[in-house]
């Protein structure tokens, strides 16, 4: 199922996303270097109502539950234009999904409609200095004294850290792991900007200094924190593959445009054998990973947990392919591929982090191999 064969309502969703991408395109370079949430990008997203795709219909969404294929299509379209646009959309779902599936009715009604409308910004707080791929090493602690919850510790490398209105926080509680919803304006919450990255991203640290929360702040029951993390990954990991496809497609289009106008040795560049080979390999890889990604997203919509192994394959394959494709495209464009702040240069930098966040390629390979071994018993 290629980008041209999607049936309604997905074809209409792609059209809606393309309208927003076209609106953002004139400021894409500026937005992608922005250190905060770009106000015009946020306004365009709010006006588009595409935020309805990341929450359930009962709380302002468009589908009965979050539809992974719809999210993939939007992220594919957005990432081809602006990484900032893609991140702002995708993180609303990643940051709020634990509320959708583990929150109380009161939490859902308070937060999800505002998140769908981009009136509030959501964040998922998992990573710590010593807990990246190994989330069981988290040290942020939650204690329950019977009348209130107390949260202490520090999260690092958190997307939307200093702009978020809420944090879904994975924490250690006794011998298990729980999750709580923490409003950003709670007493004891502090944020600081993170390091400058090769591809700018709104990221930072969040501190919790004896933050006191009511028992109703829990997301899910005590000890269900990892279940909510896995539910989020099962639904949204495949969307990273969608973003990678969008990036790779954009890079390929830049290379094709260059090949149409550039001549070498008295003939169009694309007629040179090595260049034609790189174009053909890139186009073929792109369609292969698009097919896998759409299939994984459809399966995730039916049973996200069951589809997680295939979603991991899609994320692995698409992000690795995007790295190869954009590298070929820079090579095809020669010295024009090395121009700072050109679109191809931005895509080259933006492709690299995709193989690290939402599960590094190495961790995904371990999980896929484990599933193979266990299935063969």
Q: What pLDDT does 260 receive?
A: 84
Measured in degrees and rounded to the nearest 5, phi and psi for residue 228 equal -70, -35
**Residue 364 lies inside a defined structural domain of this protein:** yes
**Residue 335 lies inside a defined structural domain of this protein:** yes
**Residue 5 lies inside a defined structural domain of this protein:** no
Residue 4 binned pLDDT confidence (cut-offs 50, 70, 90) = very low
230 and 209 in a common domain: no
Q: What pLDDT does 335 receive?
A: 83
- Sign of the Cα torsion 358, 238, 235, 74 reads positive
Q: Look at residue 66 and tell me whether its pLDDT is greater than 50.
A: yes
**Residue 30 lies inside a defined structural domain of this protein:** yes
Measured in degrees and rounded to the nearest 5, phi and psi for residue 50 equal -70, -15
296 and 263 in a common domain: yes
Read off the pTM. 0.93
Residues 221-226: what's their mean pLDDT? 95
Q: What pLDDT does 263 receive?
A: 64
Residues 6+ apart with CB under 8 A from 73: 6, 10, 13, 14, 17, 242
Q: What pLDDT does 5 receive?
A: 57
Residues 180-196: what's their mean pLDDT? 95
70 and 51 in a common domain: yes
**Residue 108 lies inside a defined structural domain of this protein:** yes
Nearest CA among 179, 40, 39 for reference residue 107: 179
Residues 6+ apart with CB under 8 A from 178: 142, 170, 171, 172, 218, 220, 222, 223, 224, 225
Q: Look at residue 269 and tell me whether its pLDDT is greater than 90.
A: no
349 and 231 in a common domain: yes
Residues 53-79: what's their mean pLDDT? 97
Provide the number of structural domains found in the chain: 3
Last residue of a domain, one of 196, 223, 250: 223
Distance CA 56, CA 97 (A): 9
111 and 173 in a common domain: no
In the structure encoding, which two tokens stand for residue 344, read together?
């191809």
Nearest CA among 41, 94, 107, 46 for reference residue 66: 94
Question: Tens digits of per-residue pLDDT, 232-266?
Answer: 998 999 999 999 999 999 999 999 998 888 766 66
Last residue of a domain, one of 98, 120, 142: 120
**Domain of 142?**
123-223
130 and 101 in a common domain: no
Residue 265: count other Cβ atoms within 10 Å of its Cβ: 7
Q: Look at residue 72 and tell me whether its pLDDT is greater than 90.
A: yes
Q: What pLDDT does 267 receive?
A: 66
72 and 170 in a common domain: no
In the structure encoding, which two tokens stand for residue 100, read together?
């959708």
Round the average pLDDT of the chain to a whole number and report it: 93
Q: Look at residue 79 and tell me whether its pLDDT is greater than 70.
A: yes
253 and 200 in a common domain: no
Nearest CA among 67, 116, 77 for reference residue 95: 116
Question: Tens digits of per-residue pLDDT, 333-373?
Answer: 998 888 988 999 999 999 999 999 989 999 999 999 999 98
Q: What pLDDT does 71 receive?
A: 98
Residues 70-98: what's their mean pLDDT? 97
Which range is most confident: 28-37, 75-84, 301-310? 75-84
**Residue 4 lies inside a defined structural domain of this protein:** no
**DSSP code at position 80:** T
365 and 244 in a common domain: yes
Q: What pLDDT does 274 receive?
A: 85
Last residue of a domain, one of 190, 223, 256: 223
For residue 49, give the CATH number of its domain.
1.10.540.10
**Residue 2 lies inside a defined structural domain of this protein:** no
Q: Does the bond joining 46 to the residue before it have cis omega, within 30 degrees of 0?
A: no
151 forms beta bridges with 142, 211
Q: What pLDDT does 272 receive?
A: 73
Residue 375 binned pLDDT confidence (cut-offs 50, 70, 90) = confident
**Burial of 96 by CB count in 10 Å (0-12 exposed, 13-18 middle, 19+ buried)?**
buried
Q: What pLDDT does 133 receive?
A: 86
For residue 246, give the CATH number of its domain.
1.20.140.10
Catalytic residues: 358
For residue 207, give the CATH number of its domain.
2.40.110.10
Q: What pLDDT does 336 receive?
A: 85
Q: Is residue 73 within 8 Å of 13, Cβ to Cβ?
A: yes
Q: Look at residue 107 and tell me whether its pLDDT is greater than 80.
A: yes
């Amino acid at each position: 199922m290629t980008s041209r064969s999607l049936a309604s309502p997905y074809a209409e969703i792609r059209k809606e996303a393309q309208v927003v991408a076209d609106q953002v395109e004139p400021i894409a370079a500026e937005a992608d270097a922005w250190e905060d949430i770009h106000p015009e990008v946020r306004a365009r997203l709010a006006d588009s109502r595409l935020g309805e795709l990341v929450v359930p219909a009962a709380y302002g969404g468009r589908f009965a539950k979050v539809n992974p294929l719809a999210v993939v299509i939007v992220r594919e379209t957005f990432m081809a234009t602006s990484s900032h646009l893609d991140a702002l959309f995708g993180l609303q779902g990643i940051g709020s999904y634990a509320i959708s599936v583990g929150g109380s009715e009161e939490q859902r009604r308070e937060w999800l409609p505002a998140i769908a409308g981009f009136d509030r910004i959501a964040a998922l707080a998992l990573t710590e200095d010593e807990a990246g791929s190994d989330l069981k090493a988290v040290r942020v602690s939650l204690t329950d004294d019977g009348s209130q919850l107390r949260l202490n510790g520090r999260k690092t490398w958190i997307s939307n850290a200093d702009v978020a209105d809420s944090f879904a926080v994975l924490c250690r509680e006794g011998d298990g792991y729980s999750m709580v919803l923490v409003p950003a304006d709670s007493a004891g919450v502090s944020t600081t900007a993170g390091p400058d990255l090769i591809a700018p991203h709104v990221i930072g640290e969040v501190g919790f200094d004896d933050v006191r929360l009511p028992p109703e702040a829990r997301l899910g029951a005590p000890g269900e924190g990892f279940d909510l993390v896995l539910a989020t990954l099962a639904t949204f990991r495949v969307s990273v593959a969608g973003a990678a496809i969008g990036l790779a497609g954009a890079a390929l289009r830049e290379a094709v445009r260059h090949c149409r106008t550039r001549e070498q040795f008295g003939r169009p560049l694309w007629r040179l054998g090595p260049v034609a080979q790189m174009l053909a390999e890139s186009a073929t890889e792109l369609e292969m990973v698009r097919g896998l990604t759409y299939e994984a997203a459809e399966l995730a919509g039916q049973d996200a947990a069951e589809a997680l192994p295939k979603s991991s394959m899609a994320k692995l394959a698409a992000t690795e392919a995007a790295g190869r494709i954009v590298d070929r495209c820079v090579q095809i464009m020669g010295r024009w591929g090395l121009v700072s702040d050109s679109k191809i240069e931005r895509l080259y930098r933006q492709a690299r982090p995709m193989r690290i966040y939402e599960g590094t390629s190495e961790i995904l390979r371990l999980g896929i191999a484990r599933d193979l071994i266990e299935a063969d018993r």
